[in-house]
Amino acid sequence: MGSPEGWPSIVFWIAGALWLIVLLSFAQVILKTFFRFTQDNSIDLTPAAGWVLGSAWLWYTKPEVWFVYFVHAATWTFLCLAALQSWRALQFEDPSKTSHARTLWCALMGFAAGVTAIYGYIDVSQSFRLNQTQTWHKSTYTDFLNCIDEQLIELEKKLNHPKPFRVWVPIYPDVTVGLSVRHPEWSFTRTNDFVTREKLGIQHGHDVEAVVVTETIQPEEFNISGPASQYPQIQSLWMTYTGYYLNQFWKTPGWKPNRYVCVRGRWRGFLFMK
**In-domain check, residue 3:** no
Question: What is the C-alpha end-to-end distance of the chain, expressed in Å?
Answer: 32
pLDDT score for 42: 63
For the segment 126-151, what is each residue's pLDDT rounded down to a tens digit?
A: 889 888 888 999 999 999 999 999 99
Q: How many distinct structural domains can be found in the chain? A: 2
> Does residue 174 share a domain with residue 155?
yes
Burial classification of residue 149, based on how many CB atoms lie within 10 Å of its CB (0-12 exposed, 13-18 middle, 19 or more buried):
middle
pLDDT score for 208: 97
> Does residue 269 share a domain with residue 144?
yes
Domain boundary (104, 131, 158) is at 131
> Does residue 159 share a domain with residue 110?
no
Domain boundary (102, 131, 160) is at 131
**In-domain check, residue 181:** yes
Q: Residue 56 — pLDDT band, cuts 50, 70, 90?
A: confident
Distance of CA 205 to the CA centre of its chain: 23
> Does residue 177 share a domain with residue 126?
no
- 222 in Cβ contact with 263 (< 8 Å): yes
For the segment 182-212, what is each residue's pLDDT rounded down to a tens digit?
A: 999 999 999 877 778 889 999 999 999 999 9
Domain boundary (78, 113, 131) is at 131
> Does residue 239 share a domain with residue 166?
yes
Range of the structural domain that residue 162 is part of: 138-273
> Does residue 122 share a domain with residue 150?
no
